[in-house]
Structure 1
Amino acid sequence: MAVTEHTYYTTVRDKDYQSLLEFFEPLVPTQTGGIHPVTTMDEWTKHIDPKRRG
């Protein structure tokens, strides 16, 4: 939470990005915000460092 901005960050875990968007769709007319897919640091480094793939 960024107190001075009244901004909240929520982490939600889901295997299907499309169903996550559909879940939050009813809030769209009344809220502002964004949905941003993220990954763990381990998963990300597997994609950028071929030696860590396995």
Structure 2
Amino acid sequence: MAENLEITTISENKTDLKSLPFPELEKIPLLPRSAWNNQLSYLKVLLKAKQVLDKS
């Protein structure tokens, strides 16, 4: 499992979000879609494994 982990670094901006204008808020990076998809796939496999183990 450890070999499948991807380590990514995301810089954190320590700013007051209320002071930023709306267009600046849209530029703040979110988690990439590929990371969401990888996490979702992992959780689906984990759920299926749990269901199989619960049956036995």
Same fold (TM over 0.5): no
Looking at secondary structure, tell me which structure has more helix per residue.
2
